[in-house]
Structure 1
């Protein structure tokens, strides 16, 4: 009960703050199994809703992880106190509905829309991942939602997540096609330099061109570490090496 009340207190905000617009996922009628957000006593609240005609992937990671959240601005919380941070909570990010789900207790899920979030971190087996609102990183972009920050510095490498929605195309006359709405998680790499994001197709040639001012050192690093540049970790390590030189 104490744990539940602490989560309830952390997520209690002003009534006006929770009247967010529906996400694209909600607009197309795609449910994630956690339902629509409703304003209940000024709390970010989610009531379960099942859908039998939607399949696929909705989360960056469907497992719950311990994490922390940084809000865009201080919110009035339980007792009249204001804070822009939440810590020691259990979270996962729903890419389709563009919202962070918070597990208050078993079968009790609250949500925070991404428009209120500046950043959040998750911890898993001793490692952490940092996610940032892409608008806070680069305001003048058409990109929406959050991105994972893989490396920060002169060249900031991010991984931007997005839902790929395939609508039903079932033809009852011929009995062919797909009856379900299919959601697939998609992502792209972007490099931010001077506040401008550019889509990045990972590969040795692209990396060396991007890091031309330190090409020899970077090429030697790639060779020494046998980096294939086909994984987030490989790319992170190379960009970290460049940003620290």
Structure 2
């Protein structure tokens, strides 16, 4: 009987102690949460300073400035039987969505998918107009592309540049506290040569261009020796291709 009473007494005390501990822990936790001046030891291996979240830097436009241009569509506009173009309208190219943006008013911006546009002739940052032709007008390496080619030279041999954009992801290292938290839009310009609408990608340089101009090798080499164009620049390549097309 005494043993039973003793066990009952211990059981009650244990339960009361556990309840007191739970209440104490709950209150202690609440106090710590409400205590805003806690000092945490910062070490290189465990803690870092919490900074702002990363952002997406850059813009997706070939040129953020609205440029006057003429837009030629694949289909007629609305119910018109003949009108398939817009002339003298402010335009710009969104490389991330592959859309042509057209400003219809101060705050009215319309967007059309690149697949609906045959070509655009518009002013550029250089001050001269340029022609942007839908990649669907070409075969070969162009079949894997979207968007437009900028036609640098026209003729038998076309020098083309394909603008695109990609996201360079953040490379922030928490442990070392190095790198950046920001993603960034990076513009990319790839070069193509087209003959009879068949486009081939190439790296700017003498060898690549001479390979496609082999039928005029002597004249081309004479031109290079005399004029010495820089074949890794836009102007140098354009000068050579223009000369080839004149032969």
TM-score under structure 1 length normalisation: 0.70
- In the alignment, the residues of structure 2 paired with residue 221 and residue 55 of structure 1 have an alpha-carbon distance, to the nearest angstrom, of 44
Q: 1:109 to 1:219 in 2, by over 3 A?
A: same
Q: String of CA shifts for 1:165-200, please: whole Å, max 9, x gaps.
A: 123344556644432221100011111224432211
Choose between structure 1 and 2: higher strand proportion.
Answer: 1
Partner residue in 1 for 2:227: 225
Is the Cα contact below 8 Å between 2:119 and 2:134 reproduced in 1? yes
- Counting only pairs closer than 5 Å after superposition, residues 82-121 of structure 1 correspond to structure 2 as 82=81, 83-121=83-121
- Counting only pairs closer than 5 Å after superposition, residues 160-171 of structure 1 correspond to structure 2 as 160-170=162-172
- In the alignment, the residues of structure 2 paired with residue 161 and residue 179 of structure 1 have an alpha-carbon distance, to the nearest angstrom, of 26
2:204 is paired with a residue whose SS is coil
- In the alignment, the residues of structure 1 paired with residue 62 and residue 237 of structure 2 have an alpha-carbon distance, to the nearest angstrom, of 19
Residue 119 of structure 2 is aligned to residue 131 of structure 1: no
- In the alignment, the residues of structure 2 paired with residue 226 and residue 108 of structure 1 have an alpha-carbon distance, to the nearest angstrom, of 48
- In the alignment, the residues of structure 1 paired with residue 199 and residue 235 of structure 2 have an alpha-carbon distance, to the nearest angstrom, of 20
**Quick check: 109-118 or 224-233, which moved more?**
224-233
- In the alignment, the residues of structure 2 paired with residue 173 and residue 234 of structure 1 have an alpha-carbon distance, to the nearest angstrom, of 47
TM-score under structure 2 length normalisation: 0.69
Gaps of 5+ in 1: 1-51
Return the index of the structure with the highest Cα Rg.
2
**From 215, 218, 221, the counterpart of 1:216:** 218
Is the Cα contact below 8 Å between 2:66 and 2:91 reproduced in 1? yes
Deviation at 1:214, TM superposition (A): 0.7
Deviation at 1:215, TM superposition (A): 1.3
Q: How many residues align?
A: 191
Is the Cα contact below 8 Å between 2:137 and 2:197 reproduced in 1? no
Residue 213 of structure 2 is aligned to residue 190 of structure 1: no
- Counting only pairs closer than 5 Å after superposition, residues 1-245 of structure 1 correspond to structure 2 as 53-76=55-78, 80-82=79-81, 83-124=83-124, 127-138=128-139, 141-170=143-172, 175-245=177-247
Q: CA RMSD in A?
A: 2.2
- In the alignment, the residues of structure 2 paired with residue 186 and residue 68 of structure 1 have an alpha-carbon distance, to the nearest angstrom, of 24
- In the alignment, the residues of structure 2 paired with residue 198 and residue 191 of structure 1 have an alpha-carbon distance, to the nearest angstrom, of 5
Is the Cα contact below 8 Å between 2:138 and 2:198 reproduced in 1? no
- In the alignment, the residues of structure 2 paired with residue 194 and residue 69 of structure 1 have an alpha-carbon distance, to the nearest angstrom, of 23
- In the alignment, the residues of structure 2 paired with residue 116 and residue 142 of structure 1 have an alpha-carbon distance, to the nearest angstrom, of 17
2:210 is paired with a residue whose SS is helix
**Quick check: 184-193 or 152-161, which moved more?**
152-161
Q: 1:222 to 1:59 in 2, by over 3 A?
A: farther
